[in-house]
C-alpha cells in the first residue's frame, strides 16, 4: 500500500513545506511511517492533527519537539527546517543562519541516525545547507542531496505558457549549478513538442509561435525570479512544489523510479571540487550519483560561473566557522577525502 514502511523523519514539520510533505508522503502512497519534528510545539501538533484527521489507512504518524526522538531509527530524513525567505530577500541572505541549522542537523544525523539511507535538504540556500549537512553528518556523499528541480520546472512552465502547449510536451528543461540567481539555465536538450528550442531560436515555430533571442533571455530571467514571483503572488514562499518534488525524489530512491530532474550532488571531480550543486543525477537505492550535463558552450560556461559563485559562498561559510577548512573535512566526514 505504501512504497516503504521505514521511518521518514520530516524536519520542520510545523511549517508550510513540512506539513505539506507529511501529507503528501501519505497521500501519494510513498511512506506510511512519518515522524514530524519541529521546535514549535503548537504548530507542530496542529499540523500532526491535520494529518491524523485525513484518516490515512495504516499510517503511523508521530510528532515530537525532541530531535533525538525524531531521528532515531529514521531511514530517510527530509528537512525544510530552516528560516524561510521573506519578501525582498535573496536565498543567500539566509545563508549564515540556515548553514548553522544545517550544521546542527548534520551533527544530529551523525549522532542519532548514522545509518540513514538518504537525506534531502530543502531549505535555502540549499547548495550550502546541503553541503554543510553532508560534511557534518559523516554520511557518504551519495546519501545527501538537495532539492534542485524547481528552477527546471519553472523553466518548463514558462516555455509551455509561451508556446501555449501542455507542460509535459516541453521536455529537457534543466538548470544546473547553484539554486540561486547564478543558476545555469541550459538551452541544450530543450524540445518544444519535439522541436529543439535551438532550432526555434533559429526561426522554427511550434503552434505558429516562435521565440527570439530576447524572448529566451526573458524566459531565463523569469526563471531566475521564479521563487520571488511566488512570494509576490501568494504572500509567502513556495511550499507545495518543494514538498511535492521532495516526495518524487524519495520515490526515485525507493523504487528506482526514473526521477527526471536535477538534484544537488556532492562534486569532487571534473574541475568541480568540494561543492554541492545541481547536476544530472540518477536516484536509486544506493542514493544519488551524478554525471556531467550536455549543453552548448554557453551552457557549460554558465555552469562554471555558477560553480565559482558557489565556491565563494562555501568559502564564506568556512570563514564563518560553520564549515571546517577544506583540509579538515575528512575529520568531520571520512568519506570526503
Binding site for a second copy (CB under 8 A): 19-20, 23-24, 27-29, 42-43, 45-47, 49-61, 149-150, 152-154, 156-157, 160, 166-168, 226, 229-230, 232-235, 238-241, 244-245, 247-248, 261
Residue 247 beta carbon to a second copy: minimum distance, rounded to whole angstroms: 7
Q: Which is nearer to a second copy, 245 or 306 (CB)?
A: 245
Q: Which is nearer to a second copy, 59 or 288 (CB)?
A: 59
Task: Give every CB contact of residue 336 below 8 A, 6+ residues apart in sequence.
Answer: 134, 135, 141, 266, 268, 274, 329, 330
Q: Which is nearer to a second copy, 156 or 333 (CB)?
A: 156
Residue 45 beta carbon to a second copy: minimum distance, rounded to whole angstroms: 5
Task: Give every CB contact of residue 151 below 8 A, 6+ residues apart in sequence.
Answer: 175, 179, 183, 185, 223, 224, 226, 278
Task: Give every CB contact of residue 38 below 8 A, 6+ residues apart in sequence.
Answer: 11, 12, 13, 14, 15, 18, 44, 47, 63, 65, 81
d(CA 331, CA 324): 9
Whether 177 and 303 have beta carbons less than 8 Å apart is answered as yes
Q: Which is nearer to a second copy, 249 or 310 (CB)?
A: 249
Pick left, alpha or beta for residue 278 (phi over 0 → left; psi -120 to 50 → alpha; otherwise beta): beta
Residue 252 beta carbon to a second copy: minimum distance, rounded to whole angstroms: 13
Q: Which is nearer to a second copy, 41 or 308 (CB)?
A: 41
Residue 230 beta carbon to a second copy: minimum distance, rounded to whole angstroms: 6
Residue 54 beta carbon to a second copy: minimum distance, rounded to whole angstroms: 4
Whether 114 and 333 have beta carbons less than 8 Å apart is answered as no
Q: Which is nearer to a second copy, 173 or 187 (CB)?
A: 173
Whether 37 and 70 have beta carbons less than 8 Å apart is answered as yes
Residue 22 beta carbon to a second copy: minimum distance, rounded to whole angstroms: 9
Amino acid at each position: 500500500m505504501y512504497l516503504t514502511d521505514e521511518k521518514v523523519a520530516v524536519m520542520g514539520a510545523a511549517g508550510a513545506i513540512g506539513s505539506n510533505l507529511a501529507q503528501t508522503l501519505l497521500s501519494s502512497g510513498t511512506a506510511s511511517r512519518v515522524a514530524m519534528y519541529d521546535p514549535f510545539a503548537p504548530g507542530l501538533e496542529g499540523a500532526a492533527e491535520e494529518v491524523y484527521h485525513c484518516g490515512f489507512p495504516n499510517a503511523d504518524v508521530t510528532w515530537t519537539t525532541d530531535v533525538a526522538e525524531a531521528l532515531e531509527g529514521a531511514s530517510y530524513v527530509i528537512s525544510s527546517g530552516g528560516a524561510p525567505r521573506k519578501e525582498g530577500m535573496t536565498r543567500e541572505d539566509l545563508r549564515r543562519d540556515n548553514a548553522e541549522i544545517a550544521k546542527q542537523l548534520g551533527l544530529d544525523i551523525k549522532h542519532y541516525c548514522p545509518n540513514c539511507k538518504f537525506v534531502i535538504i530543502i531549505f535555502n540556500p540549499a547548495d550550502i545547507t546541503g553541503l554543510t549537512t553532508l560534511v557534518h553528518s559523516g554520511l557518504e556523499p551519495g546519501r545527501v542531496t538537495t532539492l534542485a528541480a524547481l528552477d527546471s520546472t519553472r523553466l518548463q512552465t514558462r516555455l509551455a505558457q509561451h508556446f501555449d502547449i501542455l507542460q509535459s510536451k516541453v521536455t529537457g528543461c534543466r538548470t544546473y549549478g547553484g539554486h540561486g540567481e547564478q543558476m545555469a539555465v541550459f538551452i541544450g536538450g530543450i524540445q518544444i513538442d519535439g522541436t529543439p528550442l535551438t532550432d526555434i531560436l533559429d526561426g522554427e515555430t511550434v503552434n505558429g509561435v516562435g521565440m527570439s533571442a530576447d524572448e529566451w533571455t526573458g524566459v531565463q530571467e523569469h526563471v531566475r525570479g521564479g521563487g520571488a514571483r511566488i512570494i509576490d503572488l501568494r504572500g509567502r514562499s513556495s511550499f507545495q512544489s518543494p514538498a511535492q518534488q521532495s516526495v518524487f525524489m524519495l520515490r526515485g530512491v525507493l523504487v528506482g523510479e526514473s526521477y527526471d530532474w536535477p538534484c544537488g550532488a556532492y562534486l569532487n571531480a571534473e574541475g568541480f571540487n568540494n561543492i554541492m550543486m545541481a547536476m544530472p543525477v540518477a536516484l536509486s537505492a544506493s542514493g544519488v550519483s551524478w554525471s556531467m550535463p550536455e549543453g552548448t558552450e554557453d551552457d557549460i560556461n554558465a555552469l562554471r560561473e555558477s560553480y565559482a559563485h558557489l565556491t565563494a559562498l562555501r568559502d564564506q561559510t568556512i570563514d564563518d566557522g560553520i564549515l571546517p577548512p577544506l583540509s579538515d573535512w575528512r575529520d568531520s566526514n571520512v568519506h570526503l577525502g
